[in-house]
Amino acid sequence: MKRTDFKNCSCAMQRSMGILGTRWKPIIIYTLRDRKARFGQLDALIENISRKVLTSSLKELEEDGIILREEFKELPPRVEYALTEKGKALIPIMCQLAKWNEEYYEEPASLVL
């Protein structure tokens, strides 16, 4: 099912997952919760994300009105990303997920050779 198909569903959870449905988008939102950041900063702050996935995720989040991409007419060009009001409304949910993980996280069993 395409991302746009989810956004047209009658189920609120399916529509929400159409926006937040990749593993990286909630992490990007959580990372921007209390700051503006440039692409390179996000790339450094979010472990294991490829630059291609970061680029496409930022573009989709911007299209969905979750983040704002602000271009500065400078040399060299500078772009900053920040949450919109719609994006900021997700912060309590993301913080609750992080709290849930801290409460129920179990260390992976070590491999015995």
Q: What average pLDDT does the chain have?
A: 89
pLDDT, position 2: 61
Quick: pLDDT tens for 50-88.
999 999 999 999 999 999 999 998 888 899 999 999 999
pTM: predicted TM-score of the whole model, two decimal places: 0.84
Which 3 state secondary structure label does DSSP give 82?
strand
- Sorted by sequence, the CB contacts under 8 Å of residue 62 that are 6+ apart come out as 68, 69
pLDDT > 60? residue 95? yes
DSSP strands (E only) in 20-112: 37-38, 67-72, 78-83
